[in-house]
């Protein structure tokens, strides 16, 4: 930690297998996905518009609907859980961190202008 900045990020892997030497992690994930036995069922109901959108996106990536949806849901689940990771600060760093959280936000006219605009998908 330098200059009052906290720049350590702790993450974890949801994969329990180690990667053998010479094998790319991406290749290992694909191999694990292809050989994994699916024993659980997830049922979803949707409307035709969403299903068609998902099917088009899956096809664009060369995946079937199930694989596309499992990949997307897994990415989102990992993101949610990683956002909630524990971090630890010493006393001085905690005081700086608390002070930064308690301080009122700095005025940001560009952000205020952006947030005042209607999103393209809301038009």
* Whether pLDDT at 108 is above 70: yes
The DSSP result for 34-89, as a single string, is HHPPP---------HHHHHHHHHHHHHTT--HHHHHHHHHHHHHHHHHHTT-----
Domain boundaries, the chain: 25-122
Strand partners, 2: 5
Residue 56 CA neighbour count, 13 Å, CB half:
6
Q: Model's pTM, two decimal places?
A: 0.45
Tokens coding 43: 């049922």
Per-residue model confidence (pLDDT) at position 36: 67
Torsion sign, CA atoms 104, 109, 113, 114: negative
Q: Per-residue pLDDT tens for 5-61?
A: 444 444 444 444 444 444 445 544 554 555 568 889 999 999 999 999 999 999 999
pLDDT at 29: 53
């Amino acid at each position: 930690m330098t200059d009052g900045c906290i720049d350590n990020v702790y993450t974890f892997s949801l994969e329990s297998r180690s990667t053998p030497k010479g094998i790319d992690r991406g290749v290992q994930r694909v191999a694990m996905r292809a050989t994994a036995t699916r024993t659980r069922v997830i049922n979803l109901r949707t409307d035709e518009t969403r299903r068609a959108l998902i099917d088009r996106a899956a096809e664009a990536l060369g995946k079937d609907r199930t694989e596309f949806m499992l990949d997307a849901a897994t990415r989102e689940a990992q993101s949610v859980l990683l956002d909630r990771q524990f971090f630890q600060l010493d006393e001085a760093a905690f005081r700086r961190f608390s002070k930064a959280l308690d301080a009122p936000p700095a005025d940001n006219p560009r952000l205020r202008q952006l947030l005042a605009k209607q999103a393209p998908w809301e038009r």
